[in-house]
Amino acid sequence: MLTGIDPVLSGELLLHLDAMGHSDAVVIADAHFPAARLGERVVVLPTLSTPEVLRAVRTVIPLDDEPVLDLMTSADGTVLDVQRELIAAAGTTEDAVRFVDRFAYYDEAATAFLIIRTGETRKYGNVTLRKGLVLPGA
């Protein structure tokens, strides 16, 4: 265990997050997401929700320029509670979010540096963020 590191962030996960470069994407996905099919690097955190994992990831990863988050568009186009929780966990607003059609989201997720599959069971509980610059003194 490390001091000052959120306990959600395992050593394996920290290794991958550290290896990411500027603008590399990480998908934090729900339990329904086809992570094994789409991802080259997959970390599974089956007991955690996507907002919990996003909140922890944001403690070590700055967000890139807008849009700062991608969310999968729900079937009826409404913003769901889990998506509102993800926006809050990222520390941003809905204005900085890009909503992406389900199959386009899958296509983009396949190019992500890392996919983290969680135990989130609510539908459309998926989020993509891109790593911003880590500046000295940050």
Residues annotated as catalytic are 22
Is residue 32 packed enough to be buried (19+ CB in 10 Å), middle (13-18) or exposed (0-12)?
middle
Beta partners for 27? 115, 128
- Can you tell me the distance from the alpha carbon of 100 to that of 12, in angstroms, rounded to the nearest whole number? 29
Helical H segments across the chain, by residue range: 11-19, 35-38, 50-57, 81-90, 102-109
The helix (run of H) or strand (run of E) holding residue 116 is: strand 114-118
> Quick check: 129 and 90 in contact, CB under 8 A?
yes
